[in-house]
Amino acid sequence: MSDIARFYSEKLQPKMNREPAKPIIIGIIAILGIAVGLASSHLPVLVVLLVVGCIALFGVIYQDLYVGLILFLIVNLIIPQAGPSLDVGIQTPVGERGLHFNVHEIIMTMVLAAWLIKAFLRKVSWKKTSPMMIPIGLYVLTSILACFVGAMNGANPLVPVFRFTRTVFFVYIFFIVLNTVNTRKQFQRLVVIMLICATIVAGFGLVQKVMGQAWAEKVADKVLDKIGYPAEINYVAGASDAQAYRINSTFAHPNVLGGYLVMFLPFFVSMLWYYKEFLPRLLLLAGLVVNLVCLFFTGSRAAWVAAGVIAVIYGIFGLMDKRMVLALTTILLVMLIIVAILKPPEFVKERLISVSATQAADIRMYQYRIALDFIINNPLFGLGMGMEGEQIRSGYIMEMWAAVENLYLTYLVSHGIVGFIPFMLLFIVYWGMLLLVRNKSRGDPLLYYNSEALMLGVVGLMVSNMFGAWLLFAICMVTIWWFMFGMGGVIYKFYEEKTPVPAEERVTGPMPAVT
């Protein structure tokens, strides 16, 4: 009897766990096929083809979740603003276009659905743990609390839901990346894809600069508008007597492009020490130059400051690791920055002391004063999520609250200290986790240099958000942010699991230096 039981548990039970997947998948495809067939007599052929294409894409993603991650990453990084929109009548005085679904969101939703189905069928892992779990849980709970606070303070009930969806819901990307990326090759392939995509975006930005504003507007009209870019947003930064011509590539604003570029800047630098062959290093140097030049012509002062902070930290790392090339290059950059401040080029002068720059600084200071008043009057729980555009009494004056160009002040107003602490704890744990991996993995170049790049990429993101609030209002940045957190979780997972270092990467003694 025991032999029969053993046979049943070892042979038959796994089949029972696997077989139900086929009928479920066939049933889903059949239902969708019937729906498409019924709709084909009432809908345009293009819509039907789109539905069929989505079904086919879901089938591919279901077969390999990693392919879905790659598709999401490429689309998110190259055409982040494209997608159909749905106007739900939400009043947003900060230039938003309401509820919309970008292509990368649709792809990642497919990945989520496929992952949940496979997890339910016990075909994929979903129980990977990470030090990020507790701060993520607190972040979600306090964000839910902020939704209720916003509703209690008079926000349209749809607005907190809208804001929650745009900021918190994408936390699932962290868990999918953590549970899907399981090998070193998978991880490094994603890093290479990020570098290629960032170079393409930066290169297109430089083409905008060379060809000029008229060409950029023509491309926006003939191409970008057609693929779903928001027509109501002027995403070609025009030049005028008071404003320098700035490039934005495929992003809706030059400042968002600047925040995007500083996130990937550290990868170009750190990978120079990871790859030892001449050709990869040459390509990385070329990508680094393209990235830096494009970053300069975005005219994003926030991104410039973030890049400066990253450079200083790299200088410290270079001295500590005896990477003298890195340390000397950082010193040279700092000297160039000092020269640029003392005798700025015309473009820098226009961005720092022009009429538009002065007006922007004055407006920001006015916004900050209003935000500080709201924080003082509502310190613990804030005004609540979704209060943008609402009339709020501040003392004896009715003020309209709209998000200010500072992520931290905006978050303190909407979430209060109770919500702000878990939000910052996310980044503190992330940086601490990666710093630990870096310090403990001197013989493992993949962990060492990628943890360094991931850590400094998010430093750039957070510094640039001192002068903007892209993490709350640019959905493409939210999705990249959670993807970065997921990659950090994967690095820590490799460190904890002590994944074997391939022979060609193994290092004994001091880490190699580039000469």
pLDDT exceeds cutoff 70 at 47: no
Bridge-based pairing of strands 397-401 and 390-394 is antiparallel
For residues 9-28, average pLDDT: 50
Residue 15 corresponds to which tokens in the numbers above?
Answer: 């089949």
pLDDT exceeds cutoff 50 at 13: no
For residues 29-55, average pLDDT: 61
Q: Which of 78, 156, 192 lies closest to 385 in space, CA to CA? A: 156
- Output the pLDDT for position 215: 81
Range among 109-118, 342-351, 352-361 rated most confident: 109-118
Using pLDDT thresholds of 50, 70 and 90, give the confidence band for residue 90: low
Q: Which of residues 501 and 379 earns the better pLDDT score?
A: 379
Q: Which of 127, 161, 130, 123 lies closest to 143 in space, CA to CA? A: 161
Residue 142 corresponds to which tokens in the numbers above?
Answer: 């306090």
Residue type, 515: T
For residues 232-249, average pLDDT: 62
Q: Give residue-wise pLDDT tens across range 486-505.
A: 999 999 999 988 766 665 55
For residues 170-175, average pLDDT: 92
* Residue 390 φ/ψ, nearest 5 degrees: -95, 145
Q: Where does 226-298 have alpha helices with state H? A: 254-274, 278-297
- Output the pLDDT for position 121: 84
- Output the pLDDT for position 242: 52
Dihedral in degrees, nearest 10, Cα atoms 359, 404, 159, 416: -160
pLDDT exceeds cutoff 70 at 310: yes
What 3-state class would DSSP assign to 27?
Answer: helix
Distances (CA, A) of 409 to 110, 394, 418: 34, 16, 14
Do the Cβ atoms of 97 and 85 come closer than 8 Å? Answer: yes
For residues 276-302, average pLDDT: 90
- Output the pLDDT for position 468: 78
**Lowest mean pLDDT segment, chosen from 39-53, 101-115, 267-281, 337-351:** 39-53
Cα maximum dimension of the chain = 90
- Output the pLDDT for position 9: 47
% pLDDT > 90, the chain: 29
> How far is residue 94's CA from residue 98's CA, in Å, rounded to a whole number?
11
Q: Which of 225, 232, 231 lies closest to 92 in space, CA to CA? A: 232
- Output the pLDDT for position 448: 92
Q: Which of residues 387 and 448 earns the better pLDDT score?
A: 448
Using pLDDT thresholds of 50, 70 and 90, give the confidence band for residue 348: confident
- Output the pLDDT for position 32: 59
pLDDT exceeds cutoff 50 at 116: yes
Do the Cβ atoms of 385 and 163 come closer than 8 Å? Answer: yes
> How far is residue 146's CA from residue 169's CA, in Å, rounded to a whole number?
14
Q: Give residue-wise pLDDT tens across range 431-468.
A: 999 999 998 888 889 999 999 999 999 999 999 888 87
Q: How many CA atoms lie within 13 A of 492 on its CB side?
A: 26
For residues 313-331, average pLDDT: 81
Give, for 408, the enclosing helix (H) or strand (E).
helix 407-440
The contacts of residue 442 (CB under 8 Å, 6+ apart) are 448, 507, 510, 511
Distances (CA, A) of 191 to 265, 266, 488: 12, 11, 12
Does the pTM exceed 0.85? no
Q: How far is CA 325 from the centre of its chain?
A: 30
Q: Which of residues 195 and 317 earns the better pLDDT score?
A: 195
pLDDT exceeds cutoff 90 at 237: no
Q: Which of residues 236 and 490 earns the better pLDDT score?
A: 490
Per-domain boundaries in the chain: 23-89+97-120, 133-497
For residues 93-112, average pLDDT: 73
**Lowest mean pLDDT segment, chosen from 84-88, 195-199, 252-256:** 84-88
Dihedral in degrees, nearest 10, Cα atoms 61, 64, 68, 69: 160
How many CB atoms are closer than 10 A to CB 22? 9
- Output the pLDDT for position 217: 78
Mean pLDDT for the chain overall: 79
Using pLDDT thresholds of 50, 70 and 90, give the confidence band for residue 91: very low
For residues 283-301, average pLDDT: 91
For residues 97-124, average pLDDT: 82
For residues 38-46, average pLDDT: 53
Give, for 391, the enclosing helix (H) or strand (E).
strand 390-394
> How far is residue 414's CA from residue 401's CA, in Å, rounded to a whole number?
10
Exposure of 94 by Cβ count < 10 A (0-12 exposed, 13-18 middle, 19+ buried)?
middle
Both ends of the chain: CA-CA distance in Å? Answer: 70
